C-alpha cells in the first residue's frame, strides 16, 4: 500500500499546512495546485483525456496536465515533475498566473484550489509523448477556437477546472 500524498493546504490566514490529498478533496479544503498548458508552434494546445481509473473526472478531457505540489515542493518543480510523470517529456515552463476556484468534481469530491498556471511550448512533432496509462488515456493537439466550440457543444466531456480556466482566460496563449 502506498503512503498518502501530503499536499499544502491553505489556512484562513494564508499560512500553509500539510494535509492528505484525498482529505483535501473530500472536505473541500482550500489547497495549492498547478496546471500546465503546453502549446505547439502553431498555437495549438496539447490536451489529455484522463485515464478512466482516476479517482475523479476519469475519462474527461483536461489541460496538458495538473497536480498538487507535494508538501514543501515548489510549484515550478511540481509542474515539471507532473508533466514528465504523466506525458514523459519536459519543456521549459513559464509561470503565467494564479487562479482560485471551487468546483464539485463528482463522487463526493470537491476542488477548492489556488492554482499556479504554467505554459510551455513544444513542437507538434514531439515524438516522445508516451502517456502514463494510469494517468492519461489519450492526448491531442487542438486549436483554441475548436476547443471552445467542443466545450460549448459537449461541456460534460471536459473537467470542471479546464472549463473554468478557459472561461476566465479566453485568450490563453503561450
Active site residues: 66, 113
**Torsion on CA atoms 66, 69, 74, 80, rounded to nearest 10:** -40
41, three cell numbers: 508552434
H or E segment and range at residue 115: strand 109-121
| Residue 110 contacts residue 163 (beta carbons within 8 Å) | no
150, three cell numbers: 467542443
The dihedral built from the CA positions of residue 3, 23, 131 and 59, taken in this order, carries a sign that is positive
The dihedral built from the CA positions of residue 51, 37, 87 and 16, taken in this order, carries a sign that is negative
Distances (CA, A) of 157 to 56, 67, 153: 13, 20, 9
H or E segment and range at residue 173: none
Amino acid at each position: 500500500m502506498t503512503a498518502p500524498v501530503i499536499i499544502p493546504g491553505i489556512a484562513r490566514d494564508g499560512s500553509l499546512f500539510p494535509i492528505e490529498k484525498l482529505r483535501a478533496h473530500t472536505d473541500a479544503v482550500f489547497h495549492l495546485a498547478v496546471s500546465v498548458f503546453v502549446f505547439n508552434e502553431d498555437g495549438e494546445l496539447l490536451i489529455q483525456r484522463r485515464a478512466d481509473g482516476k479517482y475523479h473526472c476519469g475519462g474527461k478531457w483536461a489541460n496538458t496536465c495538473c497536480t498538487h505540489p507535494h508538501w514543501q515542493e515548489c510549484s515550478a518543480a511540481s509542474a515539471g515533475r507532473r508533466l514528465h510523470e504523466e506525458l514523459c517529456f519536459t519543456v521549459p515552463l513559464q509561470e503565467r498566473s494564479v487562479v482560485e476556484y471551487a468546483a464539485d468534481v463528482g463522487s463526493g469530491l470537491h476542488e477548492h484550489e489556488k492554482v499556479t498556471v504554467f505554459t510551455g511550448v513544444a513542437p507538434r512533432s514531439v515524438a516522445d509523448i508516451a502517456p502514463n496509462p494510469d494517468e492519461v488515456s489519450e492526448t491531442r493537439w487542438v486549436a483554441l477556437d475548436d476547443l471552445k466550440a467542443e466545450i460549448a457543444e459537449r461541456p460534460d466531456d471536459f473537467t470542471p477546472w479546464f472549463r473554468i480556466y478557459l472561461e476566465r482566460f479566453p485568450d490563453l496563449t503561450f
